[in-house]
Every structure is written in structure tokens, then in C-alpha cells.
Amino acid sequence: MKQTATKTPGITRRAFVGTGSAATLAWLAAGPSHADGFLDKALSPRVIGKGDAPIHVAEYYSMTCGHCADFHNNTYPKVKAKLIDEGLLRFEMRPFPLDGLALRAHALVRAVPETKFFPLVKMLLAKQPVWARAEDPVGELQKMARLAGVSAEEFNAIMQNRPLLEGLVTQRQQGIDRWRVNSTPTFVVNSDSILAGNMSYEEFAEALSAYGA
């Protein structure tokens, strides 16, 4: 089985979040109804699939991980068509940023409306070399955000939203503490077992066969 993964570097909370002051999202100033519960919504689980699916897979991934991008660009479409859409699998995506740039990309995808989460993740991972390896990666990330309807003002507010950034770092740490995640992608199956590394669809489905996939 192919077990290639990106190892977790030793990065402190300060290095992740930075020392900038906290800021609220610009568009939330439109009214209390928009601002209420924003952080809870942004940090809530992102899951696709039927609620009664017998298999639950939670993927710890990093937006700057090449192996994660390869999995989502090549394997995930088959997983969705053959397992998720068929009601066998609920698939959850959990943030495990490997660096400060990844953290900010995770913040971006969490800040947009939930209906845009999976499409935006798909776009960013498909275009990962364009923005993650750019001379000005944050600037390129902002261009991608614009395609998702995020204005420059909104983007800057997301990048400075310290509670959101810290919340994502906390979720990353939970993966380390509970599941000993140390590389991406890592998949937790039914809160029971761990699969680590980028896999083909055949390898992924075979690993899940014990759970009825």
C-alpha cells in the first residue's frame, strides 16, 4: 500500500498565528444576524455524505501538502462517486496545517459559507502549485479567494482573524493528541483505526472493505 505522506514540522502556535491583532470579518459588520455564531460555524465539522452511512472517515489534511492535493485531485473523485454518493461513506475534512500559509488557506475555506467549503477546497488543491509555490503566495491565495466571491477587504479580515486561526491550530493539536497524527493525509476510520498516506482509489477502498465498503 502506498503510504506516502508529508511529515509534520515542529511549529509553535506563535509561528502559526503570528503576532498581529485580532480582527473581525469585514462582512460580518453588516448586521448581528450575520455575526452571531460565526466562529462556531467556521470551526464546526465539514462533512459530506449521508448521515446514516455506515463508514465515517475523517481526513486530517494540509492545504499546502502535495500528497493531500494528489489524493483529492485523483482519488477523491472516485471516492465521492462510488462510496459517498452511494451512501456508504461520510467524509469529513479536518484541518492539519503544516505551515503558516496552509493555516491561512484553511482559514479562508472555513470562513466562506458552508456550501462553498468543498468547492473552494477542491479549487485550491487543484491549483495548489499556482498559489502555494508563488513568489507571493498570500497574494495568489487572495486571487483564488476572489473567484469564490471573497473581496479584498474580507480576505484581509480573514487573514487577521486571530480567534479563527487559533481555533484551527487547536483542531490540529487535537489530531496530534487524540490520534497521534504526524503526517498528511491521515484518515481516521469510524474513530477506530488510522490510515496514513496518499492512496489510490483501489488501495483506499480495500482498506475500508473491513467496514463494509
Cell digits of residue 183: 503526517
Write down all domains in the chain, each with its CATH number in brackets.
58-211 (3.40.30.10)
> Is residue 15 over pLDDT 60?
no
Predicted confidence band at 7 (pLDDT cuts at 50, 70, 90)? Answer: low
What is the pLDDT at residue 23? 34
> What SS3 state is found at 179?
helix
Least confident range of 11-20, 63-72, 128-137, 157-166: 11-20
Global pTM value: 0.86
Neighbours of 193 (CB within 10 A): 13
Contact 171, 46 (CB under 8 A): no
What is the pLDDT at residue 28? 36
CA distance 64 to 68: 8
Supply the Cα-derived Rg of the chain in whole angstroms: 17
Average pLDDT, stretch 69-79? 98
Closest listed residue to residue 71, CA positions, set 169, 208, 189, 197: 197
